[in-house]
Structure 1
Amino acid sequence: MKKSILILTSYPDPHIDRVLEILNKNGKNSIALYANMFGKNQYVEYNPKENEPLTFVLRVKKYTLNDFSGLWFRKPHLWLESEDQHDHDPDKMMSIMYKRNEIIAMFSRGIMNEAQKKGIFIINSIDLLMLSSNKLDQLNTANKLGFSIPETLISADYDSLLSFISNHDGKAVIKNIVTSQIRYGKYSRLFFTIPITKNKFVNYHKLKPIDYPLFLQEEIEKKIELRITIIGKKVFATALDSQSTKLGKTDWRREIPENIKHSVYILPIEIEKGCLDLLRHYHLQFGTIDMAVTPEGKYVFFELNPNGQYLWIENLTKQPLSKAIAELLMNPEENKLV
Structure 2
Amino acid sequence: MKTVLLLSRPNDIHATAVAEALRRKGVDCLLWHTADFPTRATETVRFEKGCRSVHVRGPELEFSEQRIGTVWNRRPAVVIDPQRIHPADHEYVDLGCRTFRRSLLDTLAPEAFWVNPHRAVERTSKLRQHQLALEVGLEVPDTVYTNDPREIRAFLREHGGQIAYKPFKMTAWRDDAKYYMTYTSRLTEAQLIEDELLSMVPGIYQELVPKAYELRVTMMGRRAFAAKLCSQETREGRLDWRRADPDELRMEPFELPSEVAEQCFALMQGLDIVFGCFDFIVRPDGRCVFLEVNQAGQFLFVENDAGLPLLDAFAEFLRQGSVDFEWSPDRVSVRYAEVKDAALQRMERELALHVREPETTWYEGPSVPPSPRTSNL
TM interval, short-chain normalised: 0.7 to 0.9
Which residue of 1 is the match for residue 75 of structure 2? 75
Alignment of 1:1-338 (within 5 A): 2-38=1-37, 42-48=41-47, 53-59=53-59, 62-76=62-76, 78=77, 80=79, 82=81, 92=87, 96=90, 99-100=93-94, 103-104=97-98, 106-116=100-110, 119-132=111-124, 134-177=125-168, 179-181=169-171, 190-201=181-192, 204-205=193-194, 208=197, 210-333=199-322, 335=324
Instruction: Report the Cα offset of residue 232 of structure 1.
Output: 1.7
Offset, 1:19: 1.3
Pair 1:219–1:127, CA change in 2 (3 A): same
SS where residue 109 of structure 2 aligns? helix
Q: Given residue 71 of structure 2, which amino acid in structure 1 is its aligned partner?
A: L
Q: Which has the higher contact order (CA 8 A, sep 6+)?
A: 2
In 1: Cα distance, 2:131 partner to 2:20 partner: 39
Amino acid paired to 2:247: E
**Could you give the per-residue CA deviations for residues 49-103 of structure 1, whole angstroms, max 9, x where no partner exists?**
6866110225576321001111111015x263758699xxxx94x9748844761
CA contact (8 A) 1:80 1:97 kept: no
Alignment partners' CA distance in 2, 1:240 and 1:67:
40
Amino acid at match of 1:136: L
Local SS of the residue matching 1:195? strand
SS in 2 for 1:301: strand
* Distance change (3 Å), C-alpha of 1:152 and 1:327: same
CA distance in 2 between partners of 1:334 and 1:160 (Å): 41
Segments of structure 1 that go 5 or more residues without pairing to the other structure are: none
CA 1:323/1:183 → structure 2, altered by over 3 Å: closer, same or farther? Answer: farther
Offset of residue 266 of structure 1: 0.8
Residue 41 of structure 1 and its aligned partner are, at CA, apart by 6.8
CA contact (8 A) 1:227 1:291 kept: yes
Residue type matched to 2:56 in 1? Answer: F
Identical-residue share of aligned pairs (%):
24
CA contact (8 A) 2:229 2:250 kept: yes
Secondary structure of 1:53's counterpart equals strand
What is the deviation of 1:109? Answer: 3.5
| Structure 1 SS opposite 2:247 | helix
Distance in 2 separating the partners of 1:66 and 1:42:
20
Question: What displacement does 1:111 show?
Answer: 3.2
What's the offset of the Cα at 1:23?
Answer: 1.3
Instruction: Kindly indicate whether the alpha-carbon contact (under 8 Å) linking 1:175 and 1:194 is maintained by their aligned counterparts in 2.
Output: yes
**Aligned residue identity for 2:320:** N
What amino acid does structure 2 have at the position aligned with 1:156? N
Report the residue type matching 1:62 in the other structure: E
Counterpart of 2:364 in structure 1 is none
Post-superposition shift, 1:157?
Answer: 2.8
Distance 1:173 1:16, change over 3 A: same
Taking a change above 3 Å as real, the CA distance of residues 232 and 95 of structure 1, as seen in their structure-2 partners, is farther
Deviation per CA, 1:88-140: give whole Å up to 9, x if none.
xxx94x97488447615632541341322xx11111122111112x1112111
Query: What's the CA shift for 1:286?
Result: 0.5
CA contact 1:80–1:101 (8 Å) conserved in 2: no
Distance 2:46 2:314 in 1: 33
CA RMSD across the alignment:
3.1
**TM-superposed deviation, 1:5:** 1.2
Return 5+ residue gaps in structure 2 as ranges. 327-377
Matched-pair contact (CA < 8 Å) for 1:28–1:330: yes
CA offsets 1:268-298 (integer angstroms, 9 cap, x no match)? 1211211111112222110011110111222
Whether contact under 8 Å (1:41, 1:60) holds in the other structure is no
Q: What secondary structure, in the 3-state scheme, does the structure 2 residue paired with 1:297 have?
A: coil
- Counterpart residue identity of residue 161, structure 2: G
Q: State TM-score, norm by structure 2.
A: 0.76
